[in-house]
Structure 1
Amino acid sequence: MQRLARMEEKEGSLHVAMFPWLAMGHLLPFLRLSKLLAQKGHKISFISTPRNIERLPKLPSNLSSSITFVSFPLPPFPNLPPSSESSMDVPYINQQSLKSAFDLLKLPVTEFLRRSSPDWIIYDYASHWLPSIAMELGISKAFFSLFNASALCFMGPPSSLIEDFRSTPEDFTVVPLWIPFESKIVFRYHEVTRYVEKTEEDVTGVSDSVRFGYSISESDAVFVRSCPEFEPEWFGLLQDLYQKPIFPTGFLPPVSEDVDGEEEDATWVCIKEWLDKQRVNSVVYVSLGTEASLPQEELVELALGLEKSKVPFFWVLRNEETLILDGFEERVKGRGMVQVGWVPQVKILSHESVGGFLTHCGWNSVVEGLGFGRVPIFLPVLNEQGLNTRLLEGKGIGVEVPRNERDGSFDSDSVADSVRLAMVDGGGESKRANAKMMKGLFGNKDENIRYVDELVGYMRSKGSSH
């Protein structure tokens, strides 16, 4: 019986090409989905640039023959420092240049698809030019959204994205006309304006709105990294807005092999030694992502707020960020640890002493934090992070650091109060309980497999038009 099942699986196996955007928060979920597909007997060609492929965790031996990494050098482009291949290598003001360099991969990717003739190409929002190429080559195509359903609904139907009709910051601070039910999922003024001015000098290429519009409109199906159990009304609306098959992938929670590696051992040993000395659920992990930096004055307020909170914390800073605050590390010694550079985030979040996560609320980090039941403290910085914050707050999950509506500034007291409310105060008990409940949804690997099974069933039925 088992042999028959294996034979059937082999006969129905697909060749799937994966093409994520050049950001670790996109590469890793694409790789996670690749592994789940490979476990089901499908062949994967994972396309990216050399340095990004090197950064990915090593494949488990049982999947190494099923997943092939296809490497294309990123063409040089003005404003990009040498060897910049990921959003984490490039200052935020130059992100559009990175997208323009990414667009120059069109020719080698087209040649690869023509040569290898996969059944499916699963692609990201940035490669708006890819679906039309896939159609010419007779390859089925799916847009894989690493944004949740509510954020996609706020962005709107493909036609409005392609027209890029929202032109003022105020347009983004109100509920769009196409949302037929009550919603508080909107941007704050500062979340829209703060980084716009910084990127205006670098308006090369195609806007994100247009990229999303074509990626969605020209796809055969849309895969979404979320599930209807978590945001039922938004999945229903998304179906109406897109008028095409929508498949949840589940949350794709990371698994242990995603984060193992010799190179991180020394860093992890040092961090684990410190975490082991802290009480269970007592530490707040602080990380604001790899793409945008806070201004120095806000870094100082964040530091002073963590100090004032009296709550143990582990704070990871980006390489180029420096915290100039006399005596800070000495004053928090033993209670607070500051680490500069890369850290194994999933391992830290999985440690029993960690109870909370002060986060920029990128969807990847939300999934990782809630997958371990850690209560989030929100400090959104850019992209759709403000929308994620409103979604979670509306469900009674987490605490947002209060900020000035216009300029986004905050002070140390608002940080301290938010951390204490989330971590220790009686008023935050329900927030902590709700976050723990989310572990059963966000960290549920079995449920995840069920969604991927349904998605594979669709992909097999559609096949490709070779």
Structure 2
Amino acid sequence: MGTEKPLHIVMFPWLAIGHLIPFHHLSKCLAQRGHKVSFISTPRNLERLPTTPSHLAPFIHLVSLPLPKVENLPDHAESSMDIPYQKAQFLKIAFDNLESPLANFLQNANPFPDWIIYDYASHWLPRIASQLKISSAYLSLFTAATMAFIGPPSVILNGGRDFNPEAVTVAPNWVPFQSDVVYRPHEVMKYADGAVGNESGTPDEVRFGLAVDGSDIVLFRTCVEFEPEWFDLVCKLYNKPVISIGVLPPEPEDGGDPAWIKIKEWLDEQRVNSAIYVALGTEATLSQTELRELATGLDKCGLPFFWVLRNPPGSTRGYSEMLPTGFTERVRNRGVVSTEWVPQAKILSHPAIAGFLTHCGWNSVIEGLCCGRVLIMFPVMNDQGLNARLLAGKKVGVEIARDERDGSFTSDAVAESVELAVLSEEGESLRANARRMKGLFGDGDRNGSCMDSFVNYLRNKKTKFMGSE
């Protein structure tokens, strides 16, 4: 009965801009297909979302849940971009305290939700969904390779997965093929040194395990053709339906944005395939030594560049004060350093851009490959090192060489990596591979088909609550 009745789908992302935006993008995709969406987050984070197009606004209801106060979490901090990385666990404590108000919303929602799509951090949500008889979907904004590396819930939740530094620098035994998708020692030393604690009481690996284990289905924002071996592996590890929703490629944006007009003027002055776009995301924090080596490397490579350099949260000292003496003056005629928000997807799509120096956050990688840009990889935190190994194995870019133990690198390594990726004859195969990725990641028909199949699954799925008709 009523198979064409619109679904009511609740969206509940983690409190990070790199999670909020894809969840909101997915909400618009669902609304375009006539379904009602309740998008739940905190007040400041809802204000950070892109404006919902007027024709979709009636289908998307933004639900504001005030973030509970937590000791050691700064006032007005509602996102990971508002805090130093070391305070992330306190944000997770506040997030976990949303359990009761979220349950109250779900219980009283009208119409009652058909599905809830949630993120890794809300490990407690599947239990609530089950109690309320709401079907649940865990949406992974991480690659299938990263999720396979973390492991199957049956292993994680039974204490069978060791996450000490030695264990995560080799491939786990459930990966049946040769794999370089592992962490470097320096990428995990911050955990071993105690710089990041576990004040929330629930380690991230347990959050992942519970989020996957309690879901009815697992969704991936990925291109299956890009990582088929890993996608096949997670299907086997999870022993439940696993669905690709496509990569949610960047949407066309209004060309009248004042910030874009000024940036476009600079880009238009550059030769085709001559400039480097540099951006390390909203959470990465560089030391002064790292910042100076990176800046000096960009200076040495001699290419035009556009560098987005966000000031570190909670710091009284801006990055501009940490740059090498005279750097801004030396590069004034060929380089731009911006501390403001920029339309990244538009910049990457401009014909002047030859390569993308990136932290390898999956959102940024998708935007880069949608435009066919070769990657110069500089992973900083979280899953970024695993992504860099995956991307290097797929030969779409080059990783800047670093000391494996302490993570140090030189300006020469930066310059050499840029030149290899963008200028050298040796790098032409990387550039060609990256250009081919545009046909996978940026294919609107392919991504639209994935979304249509996913929505049909939501409609037709006979869940454990519905039984058979």
Q: Amino acid of the residue matched to residue 301 of structure 2?
A: S
* Contact residue 140 and residue 463 of structure 1 kept, 8 A: no
User: Aligned partner of 2:210: which letter?
Assistant: Y
1:98 maps onto 2:96 in alignment: no
Any stretches of 5+ residues in structure 1 without a counterpart? 1-6
Corresponding position of 1:152: 147
Q: Does 1:268 align with 2:260?
A: yes
Q: CA deviation at 1:445?
A: 1.7
CA contact (8 A) 1:188 1:386 kept: yes
* 2:344 match: 345
Contact 2:119–2:138 at 8 Å: present in 1 too?
A: yes
Listed as ranges, the gaps of 5+ residues in structure 2 are 313-317
Provide the rounded CA distance (Å) in 2 between the counterparts of 1:351 and 1:398.
19
Secondary structure at the residue paired with 1:206? coil
Partner of 2:269: 277
- CA separation in 1, counterparts of 2:26 and 2:255? 20
Alpha-carbon distance between aligned partners in 1 of 2:154 and 2:276, rounded to the nearest angstrom = 42
Shift of 1:202: 5.8
Contact 1:319–1:341 under 8 Å retained in 2: no
TM-score with structure 2 length normalisation? 0.94
Q: Is the 8 A contact 2:11 2:39 kept in 1?
A: yes
Matched positions, count? 455
Question: Does 1:254 pair with 2:271?
Answer: no
Tell me: CA distance 1:361–1:195, structure 2 relative to 1, closer, same or farther (3 Å). Answer: farther
Structure holding more helix per residue:
1
Q: Which residue of 2 aligns with 1:4?
A: none
Measured on the aligned residues, the alpha-carbon RMSD in Å equals 1.7
CA distance, structure 1, for counterparts of residue 196 and residue 211 of structure 2: 24
Distance 1:142 1:215 in 2: 9
- Give the corresponding residue for 1:421: 420
Distance in 1 (CA, whole Å) between partners of 2:354 and 2:95 is 38
The answer on whether the counterparts of 1:92 and 1:199 sit within 8 Å (CA) in structure 2 is no
Is 1:188 equivalent to 2:184 in the alignment? yes
| CA distance, structure 2, for counterparts of residue 108 and residue 252 of structure 1 | 30
Provide the secondary structure at the position in 2 that maps to 1:356. strand
Match of 1:107 among 94, 100, 110: 100
2:114 maps to what in 1? 119
Distance in 2 (CA, whole Å) between partners of 1:243 and 1:202 is 29
- The answer for the alignment partner of 1:380 in structure 2 is 379
**Contact 1:94 1:199 survives alignment (8 Å):** no
Of 197, 209, 215, the residue aligned with 2:205 is 209
Aligned to 2:67: 74
- What's the secondary structure of 1:376's corresponding residue? strand
Offset at residue 198 of structure 1 (A)? 5.5
- Structure 1 position 261, deviation (Å): 8.9
- Give the drift of 1:268: 2.2
CA drift at 1:362 = 0.6
Structure 1 range deviating more: 314-323 or 121-130: 314-323
Q: Secondary structure of the residue that 1:318 maps to in structure 2?
A: coil
Matches within 5 A, 1:255-404: 255-257=251-253, 260=254, 265-320=257-312, 321-322=318-319, 323-404=322-403
CA-to-partner distance for each residue in 1:163-218, whole Å, 9 max, x for gaps? 45314201001110001111111111111113553634563331110100000001
Cα deviations across residues 281-305 of structure 1 (Å, max 9, x unaligned)?
Answer: 2111111111121111010000000
Match of 1:65 in 2: 58
- The residue identity in structure 1 corresponding to 2:83 is V
- Contact preservation (8 Å) 1:195, 1:382: no
Picking from 101, 125, 131, the partner of 1:130 is 125
Aligned to 1:451: 450
Matched with 1:47 is: 40
Deviation at 1:453, TM superposition (A): 1.4
What fraction of aligned residue pairs are identical, expressed as a percent?
58
Q: Which SS does the other structure have where 1:256 is aligned?
A: coil
2:164 and 2:192 in contact (8 A); partners too: no
Conserved 8 A contact 1:163-1:210: no
Alignment partner, residue 7 of structure 2: 14
- Which deviations, in whole Å up to 9, do the C-alpha atoms of 1:117-164 show, x marking residues without a partner? 200000000000000000000100000000011111111001222245
1:303-335 Cα shifts (integer Å, max 9, x gaps): 000000011111111123413311101111111
Tell me the distance in 2 between the aligned counterparts of 1:204 and 1:198: 14
* Cα pair 2:357 2:377 within 8 Å, conserved: yes
Work out the CA distance in 2 between the residues paired with 1:244 and 1:315: 43
Q: Secondary structure at the match of 1:65?
A: helix
The answer to which of 269-278 and 54-63 deviates more is 269-278
Q: Distance in 2 between matches of 1:195 and 1:287?
A: 25
Q: Aligned partners of 1:191, 1:118: CA distance in 2, in Å? A: 40
Match of 2:135 in 1: 140
Residue identity matched to 2:166: E
CA contact (8 A) 2:301 2:415 kept: yes
**Partner amino acid, structure 2, of 1:307:** D
Q: Compare 218-227 and 271-280 and name the one that shifted more.
A: 271-280
